[in-house]
A and B are shown apart, each in its own frame.
Chain A
Amino acid sequence: MLGGYIHDLEAGDVFEPIEYVLSPFMCSEYAHGVEENGEWFHSPQTPAGRQLRPPTMVHADKMRLLEKNCLKEPRLGGAKSPHARIHFEYHACQHSPAYVGERLVVSGRIAARYVKRERTYIDYEMEVRTSDGRLVTTYTDKTLLKYERDREAGND
């Protein structure tokens, strides 16, 4: 269910897309935060003469989608879930670079929700395109919704 908490998300939920213009600050601060010193992510000193988005920044796009679609849990604003989630799997395919100044459109859905070994997981599917339709990144993500075991949830 959209509009609630992240743990309310269900298989088949389709996120309302988000759009934003990629700024030099976003790319450089992300790269700095992960000790990525490649100059491409900090300045226009690249083969194309334009600053590039770090490829793993798609994970920040997931946070943008959740912020927009799970209104009761604004995690970027500091909200904490009663039950901590654990990111379990990251899988990104790069199709083209994204450059500073481009408007990006991020869409996604919940592909699955299931219980495995007494724990509930959700699988995300996302894609990032430029506003003129060029595919940048496709992404899937597996997240454990609650770290503590839920004894009543049953086994897989």
Chain B
Amino acid sequence: MTDLRTSGALAVGSEIAEPVRVMTMERIKWYEAGMRAAATGLLTLPHSNIHTDEEYAKSQGLLAPIADGMVSTNWISSMLVKHFGIDYLERGELRTKFIKPIFLGAVVSVRGRVSAVARGESGGLLYTLEVWCEDEKGVKLTVGDARVAMAPRA
């Protein structure tokens, strides 16, 4: 049996993180292709849109192509999978807000901080976290919160 969970109990104030990543056009196109594969069952090339096409992005008032907000959301979600395992998939909640665009070349750190730990209705721990992505200057790009109700442990 495989268990992806990597951490034990987390205290209020504990921080979790993902490896730092640079936003590249390849990453933007990987997401586009993956989303289309999930939605169609087919492997297709990414289409022209504000994420992939500089000319179109500028025609829409953007400075340059921007990453889909689901890229940073997925990086945050992966962090939750690693730390909370099946409990996140069974009783997890994630909210993200895309407060600033993520442009090509941005150096993105994915982080979380435990803001509360309580005893859930089932008797397991209920974690609440602040989650976010920030650039190399510490400017927050994506912000949100997450909750995971852990199953009671023997």
Contact = CB atoms under 8 A, between A and B. Distances in A.
Interface of A: 20, 23, 25-27, 29-36, 38-40, 45-47, 52, 54-57, 59-61, 63-64, 67, 76, 78, 80, 83-84, 86-97, 147-148
B37 A25 contact: yes
Contact of B30 (A26, A33, A55, A60): A33
9 shortest interchain CB distances as A-B pairs:
A33-B34, A29-B37, A34-B74, A60-B38, A84-B60, A30-B38, A91-B95, A78-B47, A60-B39
B4 interface: yes
Interface in B30-71: 30-41, 43, 47-50, 56-57, 60-62, 68-71
Q: How large is the interface on B (under 10, 10 to 19, 20 to 34, 35 or more residues)?
A: 35 or more
Q: Is the interface of B mostly helix, strand, loop or mixed?
A: helix
A84 B33 contact: no
B141 to A, nearest CB: 13
Given A34-B31, A97-B89, A89 B96 contact: yes
A29 B32 CA distance: 11
A123 B140 CA distance: 24
A76 B40 contact: yes
A147 B94 contact: no
